[in-house]
Amino acid sequence: MKPRAFVAWSTGKDSAFALHEVRCDGGLEIAGLLTTLTRDYGRVSMHGVREEILDRQADALGLPCRKVVIPAGCVDAEYERAMGEAVRAARADGVTHVVFGDIFLEDVRAYRERMLSGTGLTPVFPLWGRRTDALARKIVGAGVKARIVCVDPRRLPASCAGRPFDAALLSDLPGDIDPCGENGEFHTCVTGGPMFGAPIDVEAGETVVRDAFVFADLRLADGPAA
In a domain, 79, yes or no: yes
The CA distance from 174 to 188, in Å, is 18
Pairing of strands 186-192, 145-151: antiparallel
Domain that holds residue 84: 4-220
The reply to whether the predicted model has a pTM over 0.85 is: yes
In a domain, 32, yes or no: yes
Is the CA virtual torsion 206, 137, 34, 45 positive or negative? negative
Q: What is the mean pLDDT of the chain?
A: 95
We report the CATH number of the domain holding residue 190 as 3.40.50.620
Q: Closest by alpha carbon to 54, among 36, 74, 28, 70?
A: 36
In a domain, 125, yes or no: yes
In a domain, 226, yes or no: no
How many folded domains does the chain comprise?
1
Q: What is the pLDDT of residue 32?
A: 97
The CA distance from 6 to 142, in Å, is 22
**Element of type H or E holding 4:** strand 4-8
Q: What is the pLDDT of residue 211?
A: 87
Task: Give mean pLDDT, residues 9-29.
Answer: 98
In a domain, 153, yes or no: yes
In a domain, 178, yes or no: yes
Q: How many of the other CB atoms lie within 10 Å of CB of 151?
A: 25
Query: Cβ-count burial of 62 within 10 angstroms (0-12 exposed, 13-18 middle, 19+ buried)?
Result: exposed
Q: Closest by alpha carbon to 183, among 174, 191, 193?
A: 174
Q: Closest by alpha carbon to 109, among 85, 125, 120?
A: 125
In a domain, 149, yes or no: yes
Please, what is the angle between helix 106-116 and helix 76-92, to 10°?
60
pLDDT of 220 strictly over 90: yes
pLDDT of 118 strictly over 70: yes
pLDDT of 98 strictly over 80: yes
